[in-house]
Amino acid sequence: MKKSIILRGSISYDKHPHNFLDIMIKSIRTWFDGELIISTWRGQEDKIPSSIEVDKIIFTEDPGPGPIQHWKRQVVSALKGFEHSTGDLVMISRADIVFKKDIFQYMDLYPK
């Protein structure tokens, strides 16, 4: 079964200027050699190091700030990443959460 991981959303912004992308990718790559995708907004290009070890980077138009648009941001970045993935099993996460071990191993441990 082919697996994909999609890191979605803003890479950094005014209220969250620190970028964790290098740390995240390096950590994921210690246990995952499958497809890794970043799905973010146009205007975030300069926040992503050119040496980053990912398979695809998707840039879409940002739906904008605000309570309704914030929800749309989550949906748009997740769907765009999913549309570009080739995995049979796809994990979608925020672009600022570090995973230090294979989270796929827990998938069938808790049936409820």
User: pLDDT tens, 5-61?
Assistant: 999 988 877 777 678 888 899 999 999 999 999 999 898 898 888 888 999 999 999
- Higher confidence at residue 82 or residue 50? 82
92: pLDDT strictly greater than 90? yes
For residue 107 the two structure tokens come to 């998938």
| pLDDT, averaged across the chain | 89
List the one residue out of 4, 3, 2, 5 whose CA is nearest residue 98: 5
Phi-psi region of 9 (alpha: psi -120 to 50; beta: other; left: phi over 0): left
Whole-number pLDDT of residue 69:
64
Confidence of residue 99 (pLDDT cuts 50, 70, 90): very high
